[in-house]
Structure 1
Amino acid sequence: MSSNDLKSQGNALFSAKKFKEAGKKYTEAIEAGDEAADPKGLAVLYANRAACRLSLKRPMDAKTDAKKATQLDPTYAKAFARLATSQDALGIYSDSKESWQRALDALPKFDLTPAEETQKAQYQAGLTAATAEVGKIKNTPIVGTHAIMVQGQGRMPWDHAAAILSRLRVAPTNIDQLQSSAWVIHAAYEEFMGGVSKMNELHIDPITDQMRGISGVRSCCTYIEFSNLTYPTQAIVDLTNGIMRDSRVIHFTDNEFISKYNKQMMLEVSVHKPWTEAGPEVVIREALARQRDQGWNSVRPSISCTVRAWIMRAVMDAGLRQRRHDVAVEFLKRTLDVLRSLRETWILVPALDRGVVFDKTFLFGIQHLYIDSLMKFYTSNPSPEILEDLDKESDLLIREVDEELRQPRSQEPVDPGFISSFYIYPRGQAYAMKGFSYNKRAGLKRDRELSRKAAMEYLKAADSFPQDDEYHSWFLNVALGNMFQARSFTLRELLDVMKRIRLSAPKAKDIWEHSSLSASGLWGILEGVGDQEKQLRDMLVQGTFTMDSCVAAEGL
């Protein structure tokens, strides 16, 4: 079948809103076409497939297709518009601003048809919106823990953890001490700051312009030699390892953090040759080809750099500057897509060959970040589809962690926080996300049984964290709220949870007094639970309730 016939079939499917099927037809048409003989015809096919992928909410792959279309035909206005649309979806507003302008420039200057007038209005609106977003980003203070860190020097969770661990390392006396959250946040901080230290070693201002096409360098796995100087190339590895151990470690160490990070990424891209401009589909295809043609030593660092850059992009957009949780969801989902697909293909390949990013623990770290981003995305943009994805990924994470924990363990010693960071905490977060999902559905349906299920999931989440982790007390508190909403828990059960909060909160405050969650009023809320407990115990003494009474919040 000819490329034109396949294109016509794709157009019909697109008109019928069968975007997945239409995309497959456009792919067949691209494969049947001749780029050398008909570049403009191929540009239309790539732009059409980009439209399918935008409709399927795959902006990374859409961006790749639209970019290809603009390269094949630099006069094709729709291709630039679709490139701009995908860039908007990914929060790349400085690029989308340029693409919208290119789309406008590609339209005729005079005697526009009605369709072209409509396009012009759409493109101008896109340009205006992108320009506004660029200005907003420039004028928005960076969001993060930097301000807290400046005011709380020496009092951050990792500082308290270091002091606690100096005692625990000498003589840990019980399992609670070995499971302390101090081990987790301290190890996360050590990894994160290892990355920061490497970024601080990098002084490439005089050679920044040369880094884009760097050649004639000697490199090893951790350093690159250029102009008789050596520069670290594993900073992004350390940063992402720390973030996946515990994302609460993220903070700006100085006002030049982003500038240093960008220079570091430029260096690592030049060395490791990741797929910086490609979507997941291209990454998977080209990674397989590169491994086949160049071997593991070539492809392993390329894949690692690619997925770690995506993780950092998710973190930057969601937590440090723009609060773009939709962008974080997209980058983390595509990271999982790439790693899951390649891991399945390379399932029999030794772990040392394919690399640590294919280890289950690494995947659990990403899944942990992903479900957290899904939850935050739902909070700002509630939709049943997001909640369904959250349920699916949370159930999958719990099941996979449980399966891994049933496997025989290696006898090699690991730091006490490792199991918590990559198994127990992710599973605990997954329980919390199931509780969140039940809670939101309970609110929509006014269903007390769903509130009961939410409470039970939050209790499991709380039990996944040590008593000295703020999440333990917080999830107990959220469970308590759902218990009151359910109206099916006895006073005995309510008081038990309140007592657990009362006993655990001071332990958690010893480490987490200055955290993002505490800045939201955590300790005041938990003190309020103490007041509530006293009120209930007084009412019990007065005979208002018995231990077997089911109590609602309105009854207090």
Structure 2
Amino acid sequence: MSSAELKAQGNTLFTAKKFKEAGKKYTEAIQAGDEVADPEGLAVLYANRAACRLSLKRYMDAHDDAKKATKLDPTYAKAWARLASADDAMGNYPTSEDYWKHALDALPKSNLTPAEETQKAQYQAGLDAAMLNTANMKSTPIVGKEAVIVHDSQGRMPWDRAATIVDTLRVQRPVDVTSSAWVIHGAYEEFMEGVQKMKELTLNHATKEMRGRPGAVAALTNGLLRDIRVMHFTDNEFISRYNKQMEVEQYVYKPWAEAGPEVVIKEALARQRSQGWDSVRGSISLTVRAWIMRAVMDGGLRQRHDIAVEFYKRALDVLRSLRETWILAPKDDRGAVFEQSFMFGIQNHYLDEMMQSYSHNPDSELLEELFKEADRLIREVDEALRQPQSQEQVDPGFISSFYVYPRGAGFSMRGMYYNRKAMASPNDKRELHRKSALEYLKAAECFPQDDEKHPWFLNIALGNMFASHLFPLRETLDVMKKIRLSVPVAKKIWGFSSLSASGLWRILEGVGRQEDKLRGMLSQGKTTMSSFVGME
């Protein structure tokens, strides 16, 4: 089938709003086309596929396609407009301004057709909005849930409280390696190592030359992958300092600043073959870590969860693909980002952002993808834990941070999946709530008693147990008891946190009152341990 025929099929599918199918047809048409013979025709195909990807909220892929279209045909206004739209969606307003200007410049200067007049008005509106958003970015501080620092009356954060507990744990024999104190303390130390390196950056005002130590981005991302709850602004200069640090590290490591996964994979393989590991190891690492930082900023701070999902997915796509090819290469050659532990950390955050994105904009396809990714993470962690463990020394919180906690996240996401299915199902509500409860119980057991997530997941499990009407009182009371025993232990570290600020402890205190009431009914003979307890 010719490129023109495939394009026509793609256009029909696009008109029918079957964007995924249309994108596949445009891909086939691109593969069937001849770039040398018909660059303008191929530009249209890339721009059309960019439109599909914009509609599917795959903004980075849309950016890559539109960029390719503008290179093939710099006079193609629609390609510039789609490039601008992709950057607008990702919050890259300064660059989108430039692209909107290119789109306007590509239109005729006079004698515009009605369609071109409409385009001109749309592009001008896009430019005006991008300029306004750029101005707002410069004047408005970034505020979001992860930026909120909640501390106790002495100004202590969870990591401060954890530090005192870690000091005690270190002298115990045997050492308890399961405490969440190890996790948040380790995350804080790595995160602050990155902050300290950023603070060492200096600027020569005469030459405008920046000097700094590379490795800050690696330390920041290592800390965040251990535990995202460590994310906080250490001062008002954090974002500015980070951006300057990225400039320094980009100069050193030469990452792929704008390219998408397909380009990164292709060029990384070629570069490694022709120039060796030293030429590619740092480039891949910084590319992936920059995407992780962008995901954290967009998801945790700006509440742009769909963008965060894309960045995490992009990182996983590159690492999974290259790891397949480089599976036999030594760790020191290919780099730490290809270790399973590192990838499990990304998958953990990827799941959370998918869940947040779904919560803000429920979509059945995203929910199914969430379940598949959660299932995959659990299987991969279980398989990794069955393998003989490396003799490499790791700190006490390492296994919890990169294996056990991600596994718990996987179970919690499967629990969320069944819960949302139950809410949408007219027939299987009870059985779906039962499945949800069991998944959340598994999730809770992946977190130690002194982590706030342990009683929190138990509480969500309890809600699903009640909703299912399928659990006897002895089982619901057992969960309530676990919550009651966990609360004072978890409060020692997490008494003041972002989750606690949303009402965690007040909710769990309500569970305690509920338990007292049920135990009172039991002692009065109004119910039995075998009775099924439920509520709508």
Q: Classify the TM-score, shorter chain.
A: over 0.9
SS at match of 2:30: helix
- Deviations along 1:103-160, whole A, 9 cap, x unmatched? 2332234332122133234334434544454455443542255552688664111101
Q: Cα distance, 1:23 vs. partner?
A: 3.1
| C-alpha contact (below 8 Å) 1:473/1:501 kept by paired residues | yes
Bigger Cα displacement from structure 2, 240-249 vs 16-25: 16-25
Matches within 5 A, 1:485-500: 485-500=467-482
- Residues 1:78 and 2:78 aligned together: yes
Bigger Cα displacement from structure 2, 39-48 vs 368-377: 39-48
The code of the aligned residue for 1:118 comes to T
| C-alpha contact (below 8 Å) 1:29/1:45 kept by paired residues | no
- Correspondence for 1:197: 196
| C-alpha contact (below 8 Å) 1:146/1:253 kept by paired residues | no
Bigger Cα displacement from structure 2, 334-343 vs 116-125: 116-125
Q: Cα distance, 1:173 vs. partner?
A: 4.7
The code of the aligned residue for 1:23 comes to Y
- Correspondence for 1:6: 3
- Residues 1:118 and 2:99 aligned together: no
- The 2-side partners of 1:171 and 1:456 are apart by 34
- Residues 1:25 and 2:28 aligned together: yes
- Residues 1:382 and 2:339 aligned together: no
- The 2-side partners of 1:147 and 1:107 are apart by 46
Q: Cα distance, 1:62 vs. partner?
A: 2.3
- The 1-side partners of 2:528 and 2:133 are apart by 58
1:449–1:156 distance in 2 versus 1, CA, 3 Å: same
| C-alpha contact (below 8 Å) 1:391/1:433 kept by paired residues | yes
- Correspondence for 2:92: 92
Q: Structure 1 runs of 4+ off > 6 angstroms?
A: 150-153
- The 1-side partners of 2:433 and 2:24 are apart by 40
Q: Cα distance, 1:528 vs. partner?
A: 1.0
- The 2-side partners of 1:207 and 1:234 are apart by 26
SS at match of 2:510: helix
- Correspondence for 1:550: 532
**Which of 320, 323, 328 is the aligned partner of 1:343?**
323
Q: What's the TM-score once normalised by structure 2's chain length? A: 0.93
- Deviations along 1:339-360, whole A, 9 cap, x unmatched? 1111111222222211111111
- The 2-side partners of 1:281 and 1:152 are apart by 50
Q: Cα distance, 1:26 vs. partner?
A: 4.1
| C-alpha contact (below 8 Å) 2:146/2:229 kept by paired residues | no
| C-alpha contact (below 8 Å) 1:27/1:49 kept by paired residues | no
- The 2-side partners of 1:307 and 1:480 are apart by 38
1:327–1:145 distance in 2 versus 1, CA, 3 Å: closer
1:441–1:334 distance in 2 versus 1, CA, 3 Å: same
**Which of 228, 235, 240 is the aligned partner of 2:221?**
240
SS at match of 1:178: coil
Name stretches of at least 5 consecutive residues in structure 1 with no aligned partner.
Answer: 212-229
Matches within 5 A, 1:479-518: 479-518=461-500
- Correspondence for 1:155: 156
- Correspondence for 2:444: 462
The code of the aligned residue for 2:532 comes to C
- The 2-side partners of 1:84 and 1:153 are apart by 48
- Residues 1:180 and 2:179 aligned together: yes
- Deviations along 1:439-498, whole A, 9 cap, x unmatched? 111111151111111110000000000000000010011111111111111111111111
- Deviations along 1:160-186, whole A, 9 cap, x unmatched? 110011111112456xx3210001110
Q: Cα distance, 1:524 vs. partner?
A: 0.8
- The 1-side partners of 2:295 and 2:80 are apart by 25
1:145–1:348 distance in 2 versus 1, CA, 3 Å: closer
| C-alpha contact (below 8 Å) 2:7/2:25 kept by paired residues | yes
- Deviations along 1:323-345, whole A, 9 cap, x unmatched? 00000000101111111111111
The code of the aligned residue for 1:425 comes to Y
SS at match of 1:232: coil
- Residues 1:358 and 2:361 aligned together: no
The code of the aligned residue for 1:334 comes to R
Q: What's the TM-score once normalised by structure 1's chain length? A: 0.89
SS at match of 2:517: helix
RMSD of aligned C-alpha atoms?
2.3
**Which of 355, 367, 391 is the aligned partner of 2:371?**
391
The code of the aligned residue for 2:191 comes to F
| C-alpha contact (below 8 Å) 1:144/1:252 kept by paired residues | no
Q: Cα distance, 1:371 vs. partner?
A: 0.3
- The 1-side partners of 2:473 and 2:456 are apart by 20
- The 2-side partners of 1:156 and 1:106 are apart by 54
**Which of 420, 437, 445 is the aligned partner of 2:400?**
420
- Correspondence for 1:223: none
| C-alpha contact (below 8 Å) 2:152/2:496 kept by paired residues | no
SS at match of 2:212: strand
Name stretches of at least 5 consecutive residues in structure 2 with no aligned partner.
Answer: 15-20
Percent identity between the two aligned chains? 63
The code of the aligned residue for 1:119 comes to Q
Q: Cα distance, 1:16 vs. partner?
A: 2.9
Q: Cα distance, 1:314 vs. partner?
A: 0.2
- The 1-side partners of 2:148 and 2:349 are apart by 23
- The 2-side partners of 1:208 and 1:165 are apart by 46
- The 1-side partners of 2:164 and 2:217 are apart by 27
Matches within 5 A, 1:252-267: 252-267=233-248
| C-alpha contact (below 8 Å) 2:166/2:181 kept by paired residues | yes
| C-alpha contact (below 8 Å) 1:22/1:52 kept by paired residues | no
Paired residues in the alignment total 527
Bigger Cα displacement from structure 2, 537-546 vs 472-481: 537-546
- The 2-side partners of 1:172 and 1:147 are apart by 37
1:299–1:10 distance in 2 versus 1, CA, 3 Å: same
